């Protein structure tokens, strides 16, 4: 991923405080409090941006199907339930009370906040369709659990106080408010024992067990409510000393709500345990993607950004290139529609130049200068092999082909491919100070402060790093091959021929980066003409491209991958070799372990006949994932390669979905192992 990059990529540390505070990936803030050096835009929206292409009939129906019913669709809080397409929202908040000062109200809750005094959320199960959710929250000494379930199209919600050590002598107040989000038409009115709502689809009453049907028709304050609740919508409120139930559609007793919750919990557990040995990773992936999936009202779509904290800091949502493709892969274990939606929506964010941007956010702002690693075609082909929907390939092919051609036309130098960042672009994202600079070119790699690029030179004329990159070329060859196979399926013979020709050309160039004495494909500094011997997992990506001979593959695996001085060990696989001077930094891409790297290396191992190494690699990856998942419910952005911890730094988001790729490799190993005789040509 691409957070705030350091001023100098040779620095030992990232500006962590800026990362945690919501700095943009690769977006350099202005120093100090200096005034802006450019005129402000006339609108918050990027100028002259073409509308996304119309959705196909199949994809339009898919998005309409996804955006239905109750779920945790609101970016801002995991405790808010929203009914789509109306946008009716039920918000759950907690008022901390005191007889002196120090009162506070927790309106929204997010997983993984790091600020002092912030709520701590332990995420529990989250079904793909929101039919069962469960989480626990701790804040200001209070602990409580919130569960939700569906009952014949209605929502039931159960809030249960847990044993706590409060810091006040008086109980907290549980507050449930109801309104319509995103300027959707509707009204909400509090009656004596219900909140009456009227939306586009008609009336829908909301009930709370804290407002018994026997309550007289009087003001909320006289009906055991608190008149001064810090919300602006109609609400219920009650001393939170016992379980509270909320239900839509019809009145239900607390016992009835608890029974619905229990049935849904059992149903979810059954769906997970039916997976057998892979049940824990299925649970983790479904839970992670479930909590990270939101609704974007501007484009009326369901998407799975990397985490809610990232989305809130980016104005409601943010889609990063390879992160979103990986979200599609993860969703494929249980929700075909969500997998398709993520793959197609990041493709629909392509720039006018025809490439998938590093990032896209509300207002039409994108990285108009740079892309990110090309993993789109291998993702789309993988989904097709699983679900066999030709229309999906047809929807994805044109943007994938434009993107593939763009790499060849804009990132080629001396017969190799190199990372870059274009200069003058229209529109120009003026808040992104890395555009058209060396920093932006490095950020295109997705490996923001990797030591591999510490000594690279940026050519301001070509807008490229003078650096032949093994990882980029390998991913591009794999992209060409996968896209050619897609072209075969949808009867595009000319395009298939074009793609295979490019694959062959770059395969030949990549072969020149093989160093027999080093038993590795090495990056090449095109400024000096010398090989770079700093090794990272990207040096193994030729296995993914099937660009290594079986003998080369074995040499790489034995000399480097299984070498404990470089990559092997209890926790694998570090983002720079263990004997590299930067490894002790354990700072972002300077030595830490990242799910996408493990995943791409594992895919490469599947192309070669070494089942034992592949199995050990998957088991070690899974063990690292389970360590934080079972202890804390965390799915980390990255992990310490020495201790296996994700919580040792503040620059590792605690619920970043691509961390689950560490478990996904074990899922693939168990459910879809390649033939043992498989080897590269």
Give the pLDDT score at 645: 96
Q: Is 287 exposed, middle or buried (0-12, 13-18, 19+ CB in 10 A)?
A: buried
**Of 195, 183, 203, which Cα lies nearest the Cα of 87?**
183
Do 318 and 311 contact (CB within 8 A), yes or no?
yes
Per the model's pLDDT, the better-predicted residue between 17 and 390 turns out to be 390
Q: Which residues pair with 190 in a beta bridge?
A: 195
Give the pLDDT score at 258: 98
Q: What tokens appear for 50 in the block?
A: 């073409």
Per the model's pLDDT, the better-predicted residue between 674 and 662 turns out to be 662
Q: What is the mean pLDDT of the segment spanning 528-541?
A: 97
**pTM flag (> 0.75):** yes
- Residue 8 — pLDDT band, cuts 50, 70, 90? very low
Per the model's pLDDT, the better-predicted residue between 459 and 31 turns out to be 459
**Of 365, 349, 360, 347, which Cα lies nearest the Cα of 311?**
360
Tell me the DSSP string of 430-444. Answer: TT-TTTTSHHHHHHH
Q: What is the mean pLDDT of the segment spanning 663-677?
A: 84
- Residue 385 — pLDDT band, cuts 50, 70, 90? very high
Give the pLDDT score at 44: 87
* pLDDT-above-90 percentage for the chain: 84
User: CA–CA distance from 155 to each of 81, 159, 247, 264 (Å)?
Assistant: 9, 13, 6, 12
**Quick check: helix, strand or coil at residue 62?**
helix
How many CB atoms are located within 10 Å of the residue 43 CB?
Answer: 9
Do 548 and 541 contact (CB within 8 A), yes or no?
no
Q: What is the mean pLDDT of the segment spanning 208-219?
A: 66
Checking if the pLDDT of 673 tops 50, the result is yes
- Residue 275 — pLDDT band, cuts 50, 70, 90? confident
Checking if the pLDDT of 4 tops 90, the result is no
Q: Which residues pair with 383 in a beta bridge?
A: none
Q: Which residues pair with 90 in a beta bridge?
A: 81, 178
pLDDT tens for 75-109 read 999 999 999 999 999 999 999 999 999 999 999 99
Per the model's pLDDT, the better-predicted residue between 424 and 308 turns out to be 308
CA gap 38, 424 in Å, rounded: 15
Checking if the pLDDT of 2 tops 80, the result is no
Give the pLDDT score at 92: 97
- Residue 48 — pLDDT band, cuts 50, 70, 90? confident
């Amino acid at each position: 991923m691409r957070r705030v990059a350091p001023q100098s990529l040779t620095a030992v540390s990232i500006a962590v405080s800026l990362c945690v505070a919501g700095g943009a990936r690769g977006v350099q803030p202005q120093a100090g409090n200096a005034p802006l050096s450019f005129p402000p835009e006339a609108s918050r929206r990027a100028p002259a941006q073409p509308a996304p292409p119309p959705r196909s009939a199949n994809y339009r129906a898919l998005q309409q199907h996804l955006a239905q019913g109750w779920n945790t669709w609101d970016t801002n809080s995991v405790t808010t339930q929203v009914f789509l397409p109306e946008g009716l929202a039920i918000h759950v908040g907690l008022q901390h009370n005191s007889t002196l000062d120090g009162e506070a109200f927790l309106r929204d809750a997010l997983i993984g906040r790091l600020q002092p005094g912030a709520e701590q959320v332990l995420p529990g199960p989250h079904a793909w369709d929101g039919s069962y959710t469960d989480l626990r929250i701790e804040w200001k000494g209070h602990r409580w659990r919130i569960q939700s379930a569906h009952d014949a199209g209605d929502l039931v919600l159960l809030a249960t106080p847990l044993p706590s050590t409060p810091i006040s002598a008086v109980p907290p107040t549980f507050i449930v408010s109801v309104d319509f989000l995103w300027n959707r038409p509707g009204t909400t009115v509090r009656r004596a024992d219900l909140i009456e709502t009227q939306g586009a689809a008609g009336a829908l009453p909301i009930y709370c067990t804290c407002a018994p049907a026997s309550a007289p028709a009087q003001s909320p304050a006289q009906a055991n409510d608190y008149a001064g609740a810090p919300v602006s919508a109609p609400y219920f409120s009650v001393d939170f000393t016992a379980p509270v139930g909320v239900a839509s559609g019809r009145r239900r007793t607390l016992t009835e709500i608890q029974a619905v919750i229990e049935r849904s919990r059992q149903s979810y557990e059954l769906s997970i345990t039916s997976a057998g040995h892979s049940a824990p990773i299925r649970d983790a992936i479904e839970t992670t993607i479930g909590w990270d999936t939101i609704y974007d009202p501007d484009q009326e779509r369901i998407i799975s950004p990397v985490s809610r904290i990232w989305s809130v800091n980016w104005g409601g949502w943010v889609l990063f290139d390879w992160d979103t493709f990986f979200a599609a892969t993860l969703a494929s274990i249980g929700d075909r529609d969500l997998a398709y939606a993520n793959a197609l929506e990041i493709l629909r964010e392509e720039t006018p130049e025809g490439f998938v941007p590093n990032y896209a956010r509300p207002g039409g702002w994108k990285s108009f200068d740079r892309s990110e690693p090309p993993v789109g075609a291998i993702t789309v082909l993988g989904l097709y092999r699983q679900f066999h929907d030709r229309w999906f390939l047809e929807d994805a092919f044109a943007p994938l082909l434009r993107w593939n051609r763009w790499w060849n036309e804009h990132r080629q130098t001396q017969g190799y491919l190199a990372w870059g960042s274009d200069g003058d672009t229209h529109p120009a994202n003026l808040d992104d100070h890395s555009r058209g600079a060396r920093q932006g070119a490095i950020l295109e790699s997705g490996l923001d402060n990797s030591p591999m690029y510490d000594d690279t030179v940026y050519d301001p004329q070509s807008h490229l790093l003078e650096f032949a990159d093994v990882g980029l070329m390998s991913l591009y060859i794999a992209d060409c091959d996968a896209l050619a196979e897609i072209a075969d399926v949808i009867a595009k013979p000319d395009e298939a021929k074009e793609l295979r020709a490019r694959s062959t050309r770059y395969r030949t160039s990549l072969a020149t980066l093989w160093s027999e004495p080093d038993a590795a494909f090495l990056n090449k500094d095109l400024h000096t003409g010398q090989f770079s011997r700093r090794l990272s997992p990207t040096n193994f990506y030729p296995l993914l491209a099937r660009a290594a001979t079986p003998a080369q593959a074995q040499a790489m695996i034995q000399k480097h991958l299984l070498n404990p001085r470089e990559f092997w060990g209890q926790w694998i696989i570090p983002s720079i070799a263990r004997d590299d001077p930067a490894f002790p930094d354990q700072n972002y891409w300077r030595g830490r372990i990242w799910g996408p790297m493990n995943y791409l290396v594992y895919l490469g191992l599947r192309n070669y006949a070494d089942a034992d190494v592949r199995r050990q690699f998957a088991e070690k990856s899974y063990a690292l994932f389970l360590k934080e998942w079972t202890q804390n419910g965390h799915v980390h952005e990255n992990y310490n390669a020495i201790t296996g911890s994700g919580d040792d730094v503040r620059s590792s988001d605690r619920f970043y979905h691509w961390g689950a790729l560490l478990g996904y490799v074990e899922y693939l190993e168990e459910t879809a192992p390649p033939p043992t005789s498989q080897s590269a040509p």
